Structure 1
Amino acid sequence: MATIRESRVLLTPPQGTKETLPMQSTAHQIALETKHATIDRRIADETGRPHPDTAMLADLKKQKLRLKEEIVSL
């Protein structure tokens, strides 16, 4: 199961904006980690079936890897 990490990077938002960049980054990271955990559960569910769909498992694993790579790059 994926763990959710909190980003502690301090960025200065552009002048005149009310949004803070760390929150946007953290929200994006949390969304990616949530998708990653969902795919992980789908993989576990499919693997637990008597006759798992190997094509679906391969696709899910590729999606999970892409998400993991994006999370790590943040």
Structure 2
Amino acid sequence: MSLNAHLQELKKKHANLSATVEEQERSPAVDPLTLRDMKKEKLRLKEEISRLGR
């Protein structure tokens, strides 16, 4: 897999996770631990995208 393809895949995962987090935040029955874990994964993806994009 090329670097560009890998970056695109990471961006896609980040966008999907972002949409899921937003959806969960609007839900009254959200599990705070699951939400926290999703946010951590979203941040990890963002940092990896930033690191590889240099």
Cα deviation 1:20-52 (Å, max 9, x = unaligned): xxx811100000000000110110110010132
Query: What is the identity percentage for the equivalent residue pairs of Structure 1 and Structure 2?
Result: 42
- The unaligned stretches of length 5 or more in structure 1 are 1-22
Q: Equivalent residue of 1:51, what SS? A: coil
Give the match's secondary structure for 1:41. Answer: helix
Tell me the TM-score normalised to structure 2 length.
0.88
Amino acid at match of 2:32: T
Greater percentage in helix: 2
The structure, 1 or 2, with the larger RCO (C-alpha pairs under 8 Å, 6+ apart) is 2
How large is the Cα RMSD of the aligned pairs? Answer: 1.2
Looking at CA atoms only, which structure, 1 or 2, has the larger radius of gyration?
Answer: 1
* 5+ residue gaps, structure 2: none
